[in-house]
A and B are shown apart, each in its own frame.
Chain A
Amino acid sequence: MATKASRSAARLMISPAVLLLLGWMLVPLSLTIYFSFLRYNLITPGANPFVGWENYYWFLTDPSFKAAMVNTLLLVGGVLLITVAGGILFALLLDQPMWGQGIIRIMAISPFFVMPTVSGLVWKNMFMNPVNGIFGHLAQALNVQPIDFFSQIPLLSIILIVSWQWLPFATLILLTALQSLDQEQLEAAEMDGAGAFSRFFHIMLPHLARAITVVILIQTIFLLSIFAEILVTTNGGPGVSTTNLTYLIYVSSLLQFDVGMGSAGGVLAIILANIVAIFLMRMIGKNLDA
């Protein structure tokens, strides 16, 4: 795109896509912001008067809001911790030459292709059910009191299910990063007297920094909006112990039919996502610079 003519041609060509995307984003966003300032409940139809910040006030002072914030952050943080640490270990394992490597790699990434509702139900009924689940059977075989996952450790159970889904993603990204590491660097480190642990911490981990950053950023985007796994397993309960922000918005707008309140929650969720994004970029964004 060197000449003036080609530059303006390029602008002309991309403008439909830009306009479409802009409309796609701006219309729902402005509608949500508009609704969030209305008293708009589907149970009481009729006039939807403008009420200013009232929806925000009630949403923020709702005791379940604070719980939902904490749950959201715990869920995101917990899953990130498990998937990054586990992903590095799995990537190291899958990088080893072994028999049946291709099949093992495909099997290792397959959880990622299972849709969230299905994996939620499978985990709920086949693994974590204290009577029929595998963990229950195992506990009985060992003569231990089975854990009732969704009532005793509900949030941790959700974290485990979501981690299982996202572990393959982290593994895959980190495995490709590991494979791009120059073997001569590892050999040089070996000649320099670095043992396996030193090689991992001084050579491999710094090399993986960029891939880990990518994993954290991408996963955070998706983990902030975890919904299906909660809906099919705990319905946000017991109480509000597994209600995250997404689920709270769902409760407001679709269970309590309060469109205005739900919209206010949606706007707050957008703000939260941006705060998290700013913090993440501050902390690890420099790893993305070449």
Chain B
Amino acid sequence: MGHIQLKGVKKNFGDVTVIPTLDLEIEDGKFVVFVGPSGCGKSTLLRLIAGLEDVTEGVVEIDGQDATGLPPAKRRLAMVFQSYALYPHMSVRKNIAFPMKMARIPQEEQEQRITEAARVLNLTDYLDRRPGQLSGGQRQRVAIGRAIVREPAAFLFDEPLSNLDAALRVGMRLEISELHKRLATTMIYVTHDQVEAMTMADKIVVLNAGVIEQVGSPLELYREPRNLFVAGFIGSPRMNLLEGSVAEKYDAHIVGIRPEHIEVSAASGDWTGTVGVSEHLGSDTFFRVNVEGFAEPVTVRADGDVDLHYGDTIHLTPDPHQLHRFDRDSARLA
């Protein structure tokens, strides 16, 4: 069980309000990702749930019970830190055993759980090494192992992959997702990387300056961003946001169109422009196009074999069904 509910939670640091009052429900077994730019309060929110920070106002409920005043150890949550926070003077085995030792679990059961966790995380050969002798990915797995053996109600991950290199990050992303499928335990995952959020989450919570901008499944956020912030944050490369006469034509203050929803043609289209920088990725090609009459260049995606180069004339046609319209207050128009 790992049902977490925040009711009217607010956090001040001195005079500064980091998180204005917010409500949030995290259902049992869900993989929830808090995503937002750095400094948006997502880590603070996680630490409030963990109990490492006290809430200024409001109630944190875990499985229906008020946990606001409980110390972190009593909340049955396990956390994986950005720096892994392994104990450098202990072997991997002792690191993993530490929470069980603190909980005074019998020796045989400790052994059993360590063996099981090491098998799941491919750490069996490294149990007697020190953290200093492990690679980044292995340390990450030890940190996860230390969390697993406690059999917590929920796992909390605080930007766990940001210290890994790109290739390892993709691998660990898959491993964590698989772990979630296997354990079916609630996981709360904090990241600033929207790709991690989109690929892993059941439910994404987009935060900006401590405020929840939108909560929803990855595809909901992709298809129907509730405001300009979410529209700009979710999706890679980011959505083109166009102001002025183009937007007025669609009866909105700003219209947004994703690079993948614009059709590219060398012959004819709604908009005409010249190709600026182009990024050939093989499978896709992204063009930065300077469209006549637009203040900002438009990013478009084309197939990998489209043969257009710097300075070529290009014609673009946006898909009208995939157009997002926003009003003056940056909220989405139906």
Contacts and interface: CB of A to CB of B under 8 A. Distances in A.
A84 to B, nearest CB: 18
A62 interface: no
Contact of B79 (A182, A191, A198, A206): A191
Interface string A178-197: 00001011011111111100
A187 B79 CA distance: 9
B169 to A, nearest CB: 20
A189 B94 CA distance: 13
A182 B73 CA distance: 19
Given A193-B73, A194-B73, A202-B87, A188 B103 contact: no
Contact of A202 (B77, B79, B98, B146): B98
A74 interface: no
Interface in B48-93: 50, 52, 71-73, 77-79, 81-83, 85-90
Contacts, number: 59
Nearest to B71: A190
B139 interface: no
Contacts of B81: 184, 187-188
A229 B82 CA distance: 52
A237 to B, nearest CB: 46
A56 B150 CA distance: 66
Given A182-B83, A184-B82, A185-B87, A191 B50 contact: yes
Given A184-B81, A202-B87, A192 B52 contact: no
A193 B103 contact: yes
A28 to B, nearest CB: 43
B102 interface: yes
B85 A185 contact: yes
A192 B150 CA distance: 8
A234 B330 CA distance: 84
A182 B86 CA distance: 10
A203 interface: yes
Interface in B205-223: none
- Binding site secondary structure of chain B: loop
B99 interface: yes
B89 A190 contact: no
B46 to A, nearest CB: 12
Contacts of A191: 50, 52, 72-73, 77-79, 99
Interface in B151-201: none
A283 B86 CA distance: 27
Contacts of A195: 73
A207 B88 CA distance: 8
Contacts of B88: 207
Q: Which of A191, A194, A206 has the most C-beta atoms of chain B within 10 angstroms of its own C-beta?
A: A191
Nearest to A203: B87
A203 B87 CA distance: 7
Nearest to B158: A184
Contacts of B86: 185, 188
A195 B150 CA distance: 16
Given A193-B102, A207-B89, A188 B79 contact: yes
Contacts of A187: 52, 72, 79, 81, 85
Given A188-B85, A192-B99, 5 more contacts: A182-B83, A187-B72, A188-B146, A190-B71, A202-B98
Q: Ordered nearest first, which 8 A-B pairs have the shortest CB separation?
A: A192-B99, A188-B85, A193-B73, A184-B85, A193-B102, A206-B89, A184-B81, A185-B85
12 contacts: A182-B83, A185-B85, A188-B85, A188-B86, A189-B87, A191-B50, A191-B77, A191-B78, A192-B99, A193-B103, A193-B150, A209-B89
